[in-house]
Chains A and B, each alone.
Chain A
Amino acid sequence: MISDEVKAQMREIAARYPQPRSAMLPCLHLAQQTEGYITSEGAQAVAEAIGARVDEVESVVSFYSMYTTKPLGAQVIKVCTSVSCYLRGADALLARLEERLGVKKGETTPDGRFTLDMIECLAACGMAPVLQVNGEFVENVTPERADVLLDRLERGEGVGDLGSRWRLTEQGGFTTAGSMESGNGVKGEPAKENS
């Protein structure tokens, strides 16, 4: 349900722009955040807030990959499969997650806890392979580390300190690699930067 409060928020977002229709994408994000996916009620509310027709809203929804018109799992895991991640084992990572969760990419577990999917280049190529859990980055994810991550997610602990932090390396470069080593009980090969 889109409450009056959310509708007011949408109007507030629309006021930030010289033309209210520019608030299309942020208002759709809000609708999806509120209801889990874009419902017809959500599309209607966005249309009203920004002064567009519902079919105009729907045509935008179908264009952008972040919007979904179907409910997803509580935790959406998206694995980057673009070239830099591909070169460093993204396919093996995806296969490991499919095996653990018992679903194929694009599917949701029967209990509704997890949706697994692939995603295009996430701007984390130097920390490949990478995935996001509900938009939060986890980088340098070997299949072994994926197991540790899934254990945590299944216990409802969230990404926690498996998440990314940038740091300066001895060589004067920036990476988030190595940050997983500070996590608890993290197994697997340490990042090359630390070896």
Chain B
Amino acid sequence: MTINAPNSTDTPMLPLGPHPRIVTHAFDAPGIDQLEVYRAHGGYEALAKALRDLQPEQLAEEVKASGLRGRGGAGFATGVKWGFLPKESARPRYLCVNADESEPGTFKDRMIMEVSPHQVVEGTILAAYATRVRHAFIYVRGELPWAYRQVERAVREAYEAGLLGRNILGSGYDLEITVHPGAGAYICGEESALLESLEGKRGYPRLKPPFPAVVGLYGGPTVINNLETVASLPAIVRLGAATYAQYGTEKSKGTRVYCLSGHVERPGNYELPLGTPLRTLIEDFGGGVWRGKKLKAIIPGGSSTPFLTPEQIDTPLDFESIAAAGSMLGSAGVVVLDEDTCIVGAVLRMTEFYRDESCGKCTPCREGTYWLVQLLERLEKGHGKESDIDLLDDICDNIAGKSFCPLGDAATSSIVSSIRLWRDEYIHHVRAHACLVGPGASRQHDEVAM
């Protein structure tokens, strides 16, 4: 197999080669989840270096210089986000690490926690030190018990080794980490809902402003970072921001763990520099569309992001390029759909997710997602009307931008983009009472109660 290294021709001087594993460094080392093995691979060296050589502000500057942007979905510059915390505050300040991974198509944070939990702990300590936080929380999705136990054990071992608690490594810096389990609610990945959940309440999003940096957990200034974001910090400190920033594009620096799933030969987590073309990920690393099929559609950043078409396969996977192509890099969950996939069926399944996970707080999202599913189901089963297609668009217009939090917007992405790109296929369902492709094309459609 040949791998077309996207950076190999234009930037031949890359210090760690074209495809370094920076975040997933040593993930293949047996026992890397154990403290001693993690240390043998350079673990906690970044922490020692930061506590010894850097003031918190200097560490934050280093992270700013690295260009690291949040890996949860929004892609906000991490160092800049930290800077939003007020210098002084009456209430204690907190760090929450968001490991409530549940965006369909995304499975990187779970892997990082299961494989290298000490890296999670080290990254959390670094983020907390940079923000002068004395109590950090790691909010782990409830459905990931093994990830939770791994991180909890790593925290316990870190306390015993003097890497957590009072006077860490003799630096005078004190930090407590509490590992917290979720209990089944996608909405708690939204940062303000996460805070509500962490305060022991239903996971309803909060009105912003005030933003969590000003009024967050228990009313104190709070920074919320995605798990992959904090897991990137040890390598950035160890390698230096300049080395890290040599990877990626001008505005999207470093590497990302791309989660490749769907109809490809070799799905999996691939850490690649930002700006790697979709084609390289899907064809060179993922082995191409499975079973020799043709490509139909790509979801580039989890199910909350609009579809891309086969013609867009050369789009680089960075925040700016994917946005320019009409979608979002989101959580870097790349889902591939082959030519035999009924687009209406796939969109129906994605929309059912948002209906089930809508928290119910605001009307557009709660009622809108319900009716979207009703209409999509009717169309998919061959009982829809052509006016249903415009009605879908209309409902989406009444949800997106008009809901309390981004979940509503997310629910509309696949619908609006699929109608724009494959309207003919929707119309075919109405006229032929069957799917255009896939098993639903040949068989009689199920009866559906009208």
Contacts and interface: CB of A to CB of B under 8 A. Distances in A.
A185 interface: no
Contact of B183 (A29, A84, A120, A177): A29
Given A120-B186, A120-B356, A121-B104, A25 B285 contact: no
Interface in A122-136: 122-128, 132, 135-136
Given A120-B357, A128-B267, A172-B285, A167 B349 contact: no
Interface of B: 1, 3, 19, 21, 24, 27-28, 92, 101-107, 109-111, 114-115, 135, 141-146, 178, 180-186, 197-203, 218, 259-263, 265-271, 285-287, 290, 299, 303, 333, 335, 337, 341, 346, 349-350, 353, 356-357, 359
Nearest to A63: B202
B53 to A, nearest CB: 31
A125 B105 contact: yes
Contacts, number: 191
B262 to A, nearest CB: 5
Contacts of A23: 200
Interface in A46-86: 50, 52, 56, 59-60, 63-67, 81-84, 86
A9 interface: no
B144 A87 contact: no
A1 interface: no
A16 B183 contact: no
Contacts of A88: 262-263
B178 A119 contact: no
Contacts of A122: 143
A32 to B, nearest CB: 9
Given A60-B202, A126-B269, A136-B146, A25 B180 contact: yes
B273 to A, nearest CB: 13
A83 B303 contact: yes
A7 interface: no
Contact of B200 (A52, A87, A166): A52
A18 B266 contact: no
Contacts of B263: 87-88
A192 B286 CA distance: 11
A167 B105 CA distance: 19
Contacts of B357: 120
A59 B110 contact: no
A15 B372 CA distance: 44
Interface in A69-124: 81-84, 86-88, 119-124
A125 B261 contact: yes
30 contacts: A29-B183, A50-B200, A59-B202, A65-B183, A66-B142, A81-B349, A82-B303, A83-B299, A87-B263, A87-B337, A87-B341, A88-B262, A120-B186, A120-B356, A121-B106, A122-B143, A123-B106, A123-B110, A123-B141, A124-B110, A125-B104, A125-B106, A125-B261, A126-B107, A126-B260, A137-B146, A171-B3, A171-B268, A175-B266, A175-B267
Most chain A CB within 10 A, of B185, B286, B350, is at B185
A174 B103 contact: no
Contact of B259 (A24, A126, A193): A126
A40 interface: no
Contact of A123 (B102, B135, B265): B102
